């Protein structure tokens, strides 16, 4: 003989149903939270990986110019003769005037003029003209071929 009446049975059942439903909702919320956490950490991971990839990327060429190329830049002794009233140019690196007879180098692309020592030091750490930022050499390929 059963100890529970059909009514009690039904009551228990609905109770169980309610408990089951709230459990499902709780699980669903948990799952959603976990899912969201996984997605955001995955995105974060992806983003970080992309950043890392960017920084690693293809190996950066050395900051400065190939010494062979620096040495190959046209060098001459500056002379003010035949320039009439045009003032002597200033070296944009040391900010002093280029004097008669000083060794200077002319950048072949932008034709800016600097003291030989100034531009050589500059080009050990840079590949562009300190005045106009133009490339000192025609193309990186040419630079590589000369290495
Ligand atoms: Zn200088
Ligand atoms: Zn320049």
Buried b / exposed e across 18-30, counting CB within 10 Å, b at 16+? eeeeeeeeeeeee
Tell me how far the alpha carbon of residue 59 lies from the centroid of ligand 2, in angstroms. Answer: 27
Render pLDDT for 15-41 as a digit per residue (tens, 0 to 9): 667 788 888 888 888 788 888 888 888
Tell me how far the alpha carbon of residue 136 lies from the centroid of ligand 2, in angstroms. Answer: 8
Q: What is the 3-state secondary structure (H, E, C) of the chain?
A: CCCCCHHHHHHHHHHHHHHHHHHHHHHHHHHHHHHHHHHHHHHHHHHHHHHHHHHHCCCCCCCCCCHHHHHHCCEEECCCCCCCCCCCCECCCCCCECCCCCEEEECCCCCCEEEHHHHHHHHHHCCECCCCCCECCCCHHHHHHHC
Tell me how far the alpha carbon of residue 132 lies from the centroid of ligand 1, in angstroms. Answer: 16
Mean pLDDT of all residues in the chain? 80
* pLDDT band of 60, cuts 50, 70, 90: low
For position 142, what pLDDT does the model report? 47
Render pLDDT for 95-122 as a digit per residue (tens, 0 to 9): 999 999 999 999 999 999 999 999 999 9
Buried b / exposed e across 82-107, counting CB within 10 Å, b at 16+? eeeeeeeeebbbeeeebeeebebbeb
The mean per-residue pLDDT over the stretch 60-66 comes to 76
d(CA 90, CA 10): 100
Tell me how far the alpha carbon of residue 31 lies from the centroid of ligand 1, in angstroms. Answer: 68
pTM for the structure as a whole: 0.53
Token pair listed for 109: 């692309």
φ/ψ of 75, rounded to 5, equals -120, 140
More confident residue, 117 or 83: 117
Token pair listed for 107: 């950048």
Q: Which of 32-41, 57-66, 136-145 has the lowest mean pLDDT?
A: 136-145
């Amino acid at each position: 003989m059963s100890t529970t009446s059909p009514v009690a049975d039904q009551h228990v059942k609905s109770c169980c149903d309610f408990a089951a439903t709230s459990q499902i909702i709780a699980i669903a919320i948990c799952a959603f939270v976990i899912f969201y956490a996984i997605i955001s950490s995955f995105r974060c991971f992806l983003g970080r990986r992309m950043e890392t990839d960017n920084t690693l990327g293809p190996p950066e060429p050395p900051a400065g110019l190939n010494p062979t190329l620096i040495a190959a830049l046209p060098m001459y002794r500056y002379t003010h003769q035949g320039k009439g009233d045009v003032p002597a140019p200033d070296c944009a690196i040391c900010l002093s005037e280029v004097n008669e007879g000083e060794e200077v180098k002319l950048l072949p692309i932008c034709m800016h003029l600097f003291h030989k020592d100034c531009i050589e030091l500059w080009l050990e750490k840079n590949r562009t003209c300190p005045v106009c930022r133009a490339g000192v050499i025609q193309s990186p390929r040419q630079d590589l071929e000369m290495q």
